[in-house]
Structure 1
Amino acid sequence: MKALKKTLPFIVLLAILLCLSWQSESTLTSKNTIVLVKYKTQPDKSVEAINNLTILIEEVKKEPHFVSIKLHVDPKDPTNILLYEEWLDASYYEYAHMKTPHIQQFIANAKNFLAGPPEISLWQLEKEF
């Protein structure tokens, strides 16, 4: 019983810290910008596009304000590729990110495997259910 009385304050403090940590992390995520990037590859160039995107993403992951990227391929049409990106700062994404050497290099090479420019849209979380 004495041991419980001595450790109880530490357990309570740990529980409070865990709750605060979870809450601040959840709040931060809800303010992040989601970017959807839709690509259409040239016929029979999907593998080349995915390889180039993978190399690009490895560089993008080093940027400030980057949170995550998920690369999706349409199971019915592999020439449709979608990137689901999460960023801390929309203005960084729209300006500084687009001017990085790795993005500029990707844009220059993309004519070899993409059918045209990507469709890019930015999203903010309104409600979470």
Structure 2
Amino acid sequence: MAVTYVIRFDIRPDQRERFMMLLTEVLDAMRHEPMFHQAVLHADPDDENRMMLYETWEDHEDVLEVQLKRPYRNAWHAALPELLAGPRDISIWRPVHSDRSE
């Protein structure tokens, strides 16, 4: 069953460019994973250094056991303490209903 992660970030203002570069590399790589569904990065309209990443995967266990251990994530995970003003806020959601325009 699909699972969605909502991850909120408070980025240090002087690290925003580096945050975007490292996260873009991860997003570009994970797009090719077979269990990946989608990811959307959102910025707070009142504070460009507050962001929310919405990402959906096919299986939670695969994310924990396989995806989080992918080598393309190493630089991103190592840099997080320098990039962020505080810990990430991560919540897990299960899709119940979806509508999309064509």
Question: How many Å separate the matches in 2 of 1:114 and 1:70?
Answer: 19
2:55 counterpart letter in structure 1: E
- Show CA shifts across 1:22-52 (max 9, x none): xxxxxxxxx4211111111112322321222
Identical counterparts, % of pairs: 27
1:102-117 equivalent positions in 2, closer than 5 A = 102-117=72-87
Q: Give TM-score scaled by structure 2 length.
A: 0.82
Name the structure 1 match of 2:54: 84
Higher deviation after alignment, 106-115 or 53-62? 106-115
Paired residues of 1:39 and 1:118 also in contact (CA < 8 A): yes
- CA drift of 1:64 comes to 2.6
Higher RCO structure (Cα 8 Å, ≥6 apart): 2
Question: How many Å separate the matches in 1 of 2:52 and 2:62?
Answer: 21
Question: Comparing both structures, which one devotes a greater share of its residues to strand?
Answer: 2
Between structure 1 and structure 2, the one with the greater Rg is 1
Paired residues of 1:45 and 1:79 also in contact (CA < 8 A): no
Question: Comparing both structures, which one devotes a greater share of its residues to helix?
Answer: 1
- CA drift of 1:103 comes to 1.8
The partner residue of 1:96 within 56, 66, 71 is 66
The partner residue of 1:121 within 59, 72, 91 is 91
Tell me the C-alpha RMSD between the 2 structures. 1.9
Q: Give TM-score scaled by structure 1 length.
A: 0.67
The partner residue of 1:57 within 12, 17, 27 is 27
Q: Any unmatched runs of 5+ in structure 2?
A: none
1:19-38 equivalent positions in 2, closer than 5 A = 31-38=1-8
Question: How many Å separate the matches in 2 of 1:99 and 1:128?
Answer: 29
Going from structure 1 to structure 2, the CA distance change for 1:128 and 1:111 (only over 3 Å counts) comes to closer
- CA drift of 1:118 comes to 1.6
